[in-house]
Chain A
Amino acid sequence: QVQLQQWGAGLLKPSETLSLTCAVYGRSSSGYYWSWIRQPPGKGLEWIGEISQSGSTNYSPSLRSRVSMSVDTSKNQFSLKLVSVTPADTAMYFCARYSGYELFLDSWGRGALVTVSS
């Protein structure tokens, strides 16, 4: 397994851009994707999207118009950007490793709380 450490701005105003980065520690073989998942306070998990090690992306239909992901293989990092945030985007954001072959998320970051408030 790998360890994931994430960071980013925790307090945003409406209309600003959410930006989070996740660093990967340890070796990860091919066939894995890097994912972002969020969890509003007191609610369930929502998949935001995924990016492959080569940079191919797949986003949730509900967020596709506002989200982008990138990967920096030289730094073993991947990032999430979500534009035009609203209070509804307030959530704990998790990065995770996803097995595209076997369809599971096996390593998770600790999470980063992002609050959107004016």
Chain B
Amino acid sequence: QSVLTQPPSASGTPGQRVTISCSGVYSNIGDNAVSWYQQLPGTAPKLLMYNTDRRPSGVPDRFSGSKSGTSASLAISGLQSEDEADYYCATWDDRLNGFVFGTGTEVTV
């Protein structure tokens, strides 16, 4: 049901850089800002990135976001064990007139 496509999994060793992609179309990513959410096991999602590349207070600068056309990316540099979580991209979809989430990516360290 998700209209934004993410790889189901990504992995890396401590210290490595991992990138997660989020693919959409013009009516969502192409026309609107993207946010990213981190969901640790058994907890509610937490806002990780907004307006595509802005970090809320308290989010380490190891996390960075970008967007090009109808795709967005989240990069985690200096990977740490505490980064093991599910990550979701999200944005508004003008055609559906609703908020849409990505399929989610499980990051393993």
**Which A residues have a C-beta under 8 Å from some C-beta of B?**
35, 37, 44-47, 49-50, 58-62, 94, 98-99, 102-106, 108-111
Contact = CB atoms under 8 A, between A and B. Distances in A.
Interface stretch (B10-18, B19-27, B73-81, B99-107): B99-107
B100 A104 contact: no
Contacts of A60: 98
A44 B44 contact: no
B45 interface: yes
A103 B98 contact: no
Contacts of A37: 45, 101
Nearest to A99: B50
B51 interface: yes
B1 A94 contact: no
Given A45-B45, A45-B104, A46-B1, A105 B90 contact: yes
B9 interface: no
Interface of B: 1-2, 32-33, 35, 37, 43-47, 50-51, 56, 88, 90-92, 96-104
B106 to A, nearest CB: 11
Contact of A47 (B32, B98, B103): B98
A44 B98 contact: no
A61 B96 CA distance: 7
Given A44-B2, A45-B88, A104 B47 contact: yes
Nearest to A50: B99
Contacts of B96: 61
Q: What 10 A-B pairs come out closest when comparing CB atoms?
A: A104-B35, A104-B50, A108-B44, A47-B99, A45-B101, A44-B104, A106-B47, A103-B92, A103-B33, A111-B44
